[in-house]
Amino acid sequence: MENIHREFFKVKFYDTDFTSKVKLFSLINYMQETSEQHSNKIGIGYNHLISEGLFWVVSRLEVNMIKYPKNMDEIIMETWPSGIDKLFFKRNFRILDANENELGNIIAYYLLLDVNSKFPQRPTRISLGVDSIENRFGEEKKLDKIKMPNDLVGTIERVVTYSDIDLNMHVNNAKYISWVEDVFNLEDYKNKRIASLQLNFMKEAKYGDEVILNKYVDKEALNIYYIEGLEKETKTQLFQCKVTFIEEQL
């Protein structure tokens, strides 16, 4: 079995925004599809794990974009397992155009959870089936905790609805990215683009939950924002996110 796997996608109009460029939300869906297909091939996909009372969740991820693909572009999503860090299974992705020029990359940290207890399980519970490839393109960045600043500049609220929920009965990973994208307005996307985004998941959100999204700025760094999601009733933190915009049109 191969430890490097590729899936091929054609960007559809419904995956793009008003600039004809793909949304990060859509790229994360491509990422999830690629990860699942590779996991199925090596025997650790959803159906295999759920039969053993286990399932994967993304705990942390970082997206770095060099150039955004546009409507009707053909792209390649490449993935490989990249090692274990304590309870985290690490998986890397490269986003390539049809000529194999790199458009961006993603680092994702997965946790293996017990279906009933929802507690993280030790990596030794399963075998990956293939060798990991660590530091394939040089030393990899570690996804650490995000330190939130104190300068609150905006708040929006939303309720978790049917379209947010996945087969694990909680908000899907890609939906959190969509929520973060929605914190910014159209003017932000006319003149700037998200160059990088790190999102750390803290607690699952479920159907009917009322969620507060707070936006903070880093006064010491231009175009860097921080987003946190909170349960409205308990103020429990659901996720933390750091977003870096770039003035150029990627």
Tell me the average pLDDT across 37-44. 91
126 closest CA partner among 196, 16, 205, 44 = 44
Q: 119: which 2 tokens? A: 């507690």
**Which of 38-42, 92-96, 113-117, 129-133 is least confident?**
129-133
Please provide residue 65's backbone torsions phi and psi, each rounded to the nearest 5 degrees: -110, 135
At 172-190, the pLDDT tens digits run: 989 999 999 999 999 999 8
What mean pLDDT, rounded, does the chain reach? 93
The H-or-E segment that residue 60 falls in is strand 54-65
Confidence of residue 131 (pLDDT cuts 50, 70, 90): confident
Q: Average pLDDT, stretch 147-173? A: 92
* pLDDT tens digits along 55-86: 899 999 999 999 999 999 999 999 999 999 99
Same topology between domain 5-125 and domain 152-246: yes
Q: How many residues does the chain have?
A: 250
Q: Does domain 5-125 have CATH number 3.10.129.10?
A: yes
pLDDT at 249: 62
Contacts from 41-45 at CB under 8 Å and sequence distance 24+?
41/1, 41/2, 41/5, 42/1, 42/128, 42/129, 42/130, 43/127, 43/129, 44/126, 44/127, 44/128, 44/129
Q: Are 180 and 241 in contact (CB under 8 A)?
A: yes
Among 130, 109, 3, 131, which Cα is nearest to 56's?
109
The pLDDT > 70 percentage for the chain reads 98
Helix 24-41 × helix 173-183 angle, to 10°:
170
**Calpha distance 208→136 (Å, rounded):** 42
Q: What is the 3-state secondary structure (H, E, C) of 223-245?
A: CEEEEEEEECCCCCEEEEEEEEE
Q: What is the DSSP string of 6-57?
A: EEEEE--GGGB-TTSBBPHHHHHHHHHHHHHHHHHHTT-SHHHHHTTTEEEE
Mean pLDDT (whole number) for 216-244: 94
pLDDT in the model for residue 250 = 60
pLDDT computed for residue 231 by the predictor: 96
Region 44-58 average pLDDT: 90
Alpha carbon distance 222, 211 (integer Å): 27
User: What are the Cα distances from residue 85, in Å, to 29, 131, 179?
Assistant: 24, 15, 28
Instruction: Find, among 201, 241, 196, 160, the residue nearest to 56 by Cα.
Output: 201
| Residue-range domain boundaries for the chain | 5-125, 152-246
**DSSP conformational letter for 213:** E
Q: Has domain 152-246 been given CATH number 3.40.50.300?
A: no
182-199 in b/e burial notation, b at 16+ Cβ within 10 A? ebbeeeebeebbbbebbb
